[in-house]
Amino acid sequence: MLQMKIEGNRLLEGTVRIGGAKNSAVALIPASLLSDGIVTIDNIPNISDIDALNEILEYLGAKVSNHDGTMIIDSSTTINKEIPEQISKKLRASYYFMSALLGKYKHVEMYFPGGCSIGARPIDQTLKGFKALGATVKEDGNKFTIDAEELIGGHVYLDMPSVGATINTILVAVKANGETIIENAAKEPEIVNITTFLNNMGAKITGAGTSVIKIIGVEKLGSCFTEVIPDRIEAGTYIIAGALMGNNLRVENIIPDHVATLTLKLKEMGVKIEVGDDYAIVSASEHLKPVKVKTLGYPGFPTDLQQPLTTLLTLCDGTSILEETIYENRFQNVEYLNKMGANIIINERKIKINGPTQLHAEEVKATDLRAGACLILAALKARGETTITNIEHVLRGYENIEGKLKSIGAKISIEQI
Ligand code: EPU
């Protein structure tokens, strides 16, 4: 097990550069299987979720190289075989192989995906998309066997704008005969990144970034190059770090529109923040105003920044309310923030953060990726040395977090225990 130690209450200054988006990269890599050529993907983040996907690609027989964040994938040598349960359940994004293999071979066998334990996370909408395109789904415990004699374009109305179901349906529809329409599609920037990638390969997708996406299937997809967009959640996390302990901390390589719900909320709170073309400069501020925040699909406030933001809300002069509408179990960080001195009360899907409170060092546990980010932020603010156990969760999604935080003045180390 890995644990992180942080000596808190130190100013964060200088520049931190944001890497490629985890939630784009983890879909682009499986999507590359659909190409009959060689694809090159630039700006791949160096995180352990990518290692897990590479393992699946190599298991399937693809030729993969990854140097300095540039991945070259040749899937002409892949063999369609069952993806074993212990690999499928390593991460949520393994289920993008379900759709990529179904699109490519019209047959796939794999298991229920893994991912952070933040709610039930069913995959019914993905299966609904597959069925609408002519596939039959056989479920045997955790195992899924999905077949299609022929994939035919269809009309899919998603019950909620699920990121995963939108991407999975697109990955099958690009190889189906005829036209597919996805209604109530997710509008996240990662979806635009993936459809641009597929269109560069020769797919015909329009409407990405809106709630209606139209796909006209094609027979072949070719070679292409694409770049992973900057990670808006990593960006948001460092921006919040700046609001806690920054002295003109510059967070660069961001797309300001992608983090606008956060930066506007911080302005509402009274945080000193300047947003430029591709950067934000943030400083710690006194007497922050309490706010109300409700998580929603893009362009609403992202659920993935809800836990990191909670740390900052403990400093506000008064009571803030945070409502989580996407996941049922995304408040596991609260117990540990309270242990560090926060005053937070959970009431079903809402938390009430009574501030201001002074955070102090403690031994705490990262229960999931963003809960870990929340506790790292709390440790950066707290007096004394905080120990965060189970830090592996954080390394799944934050590239070189130790090095990046050190370079802006944090005293931080990761050790094996
Ligand atoms: N949902 C269903 N049925 C489905 C699909 C989703 O009920 O078939 C529900 C989920 O249970 C959840 C909600 O709909 O309550 C949203 O799920 P969605 O499918 O949008 O999420 P996801 O694709 O599983 C991705 C990210 C998450 C991020 C969400 C929302 C990846 C690998 N994961 O998950 O990222 O929170 O979109 O933006 O892309 C993270 O990075 O920490 C993370 C959890």
List pLDDT tens digits, range 101-124.
999 999 999 999 999 999 989 999
What pLDDT is recorded for position 409? 98
Q: 372 CA distance to ligand 1 centroid (A)?
A: 18
Record the tokens describing residue 289, joined without a space.
């105003």
Task: Supply the pTM of this predicted model.
Answer: 0.98
> Which residue ranges of the chain lie beneath pLDDT 50?
none
Please tell me the distance from the alpha carbon of residue 95 to that of residue 134, in angstroms, as a whole number.
18
Which alpha helices (DSSP H) does 204-343 contain, by range?
A: 232-245, 260-269, 306-313, 333-339
* 378 and 384 Cβ atoms separated by less than 8 Å: no
* Residue showing tokens 């983890």: 26
What pLDDT is recorded for position 25? 98
Could you tell me the sign of the dihedral formed by the alpha carbons of 282, 370, 25, 167, in that order?
A: negative
* Torsion on CA atoms 187, 188, 189, 191, rounded to nearest 10: -80
Please list the residues that pair with 145 across neighbouring strands: 109, 138
* 257 and 327 Cβ atoms separated by less than 8 Å: no
Give ∠ CA 85-92-312 in degrees, rounded to 5. Answer: 145
What pLDDT is recorded for position 144? 97
Please tell me the distance from the alpha carbon of residue 8 to that of residue 387, in angstroms, as a whole number.
11
What pLDDT is recorded for position 404? 98
What pLDDT is recorded for position 392? 97
> At a CB cut-off of 8 Å and minimum separation 6, what does 50 contact?
25, 26, 29, 44, 66
Any atom of ligand 1 within 6 Å of the Cβ of 92: yes
Q: 37 CA distance to ligand 1 centroid (A)?
A: 30
* Residue showing tokens 């130690």: 5
Task: Look at residues 41, 39, 42, 43 and name the one whose alpha carbon lies nearest to residue 20.
Answer: 43
Record the tokens describing residue 264, joined without a space.
């506007």
What pLDDT is recorded for position 223? 97
* Burial class (CB within 10 angstroms; exposed 0-12, middle 13-18, buried 19+) of 403: exposed
Please identify, by atom number, the ligand 1 atom nearest to the C-alpha of residue 49. 32
Q: 115 CA distance to ligand 1 centroid (A)?
A: 10
**Ligand 1 pocket test: which of 163, 188, 301, 330 has the largest number of ligand atoms within 8 Å of its C-beta?**
163
